[in-house]
């Protein structure tokens, strides 16, 4: 997986988090498959089409915090992740 400081695409735009579709019990094979990029300031009450219940790994960038909910529309239990 990339480190929190590595979350910068080639064009230099800041990324606050990346969610990955594939996971593995082997650390070097985690953070694989499709990637969902979360830009700074994002407020998304619903997962994009095809991502509901699919994210298995995530990395949160420095100076960012990612809050996720167990149900859609920011309902249910929440959990916060940071670098």
Question: Which one-letter DSSP state was computed for residue 47?
Answer: P
What is the pLDDT, as a whole number, of residue 31? 85
With a cut of 90, say whether residue 27 has pLDDT above it: no
Q: What is the pTM of this model?
A: 0.82
Q: How confident is the model at residue 7 (pLDDT cuts 50, 70, 90)?
A: confident
Domain ranges across the chain: 17-78
Nearest CA-CA partner of 70 in 82, 55, 59, 60: 55
């Amino acid at each position: 997986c990339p480190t929190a400081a590595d979350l910068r695409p080639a064009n230099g735009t800041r990324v606050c988090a990346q969610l990955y579709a594939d996971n593995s019990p082997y650390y070097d094979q985690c953070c694989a498959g499709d990637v969902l990029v979360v830009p700074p300031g994002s407020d998304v009450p619903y997962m994009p089409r095809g991502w509901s219940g699919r994210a298995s790994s995530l990395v949160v960038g420095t100076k960012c915090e990612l809050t996720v909910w167990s149900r859609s529309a920011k309902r249910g239990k929440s959990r916060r992740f940071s670098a």
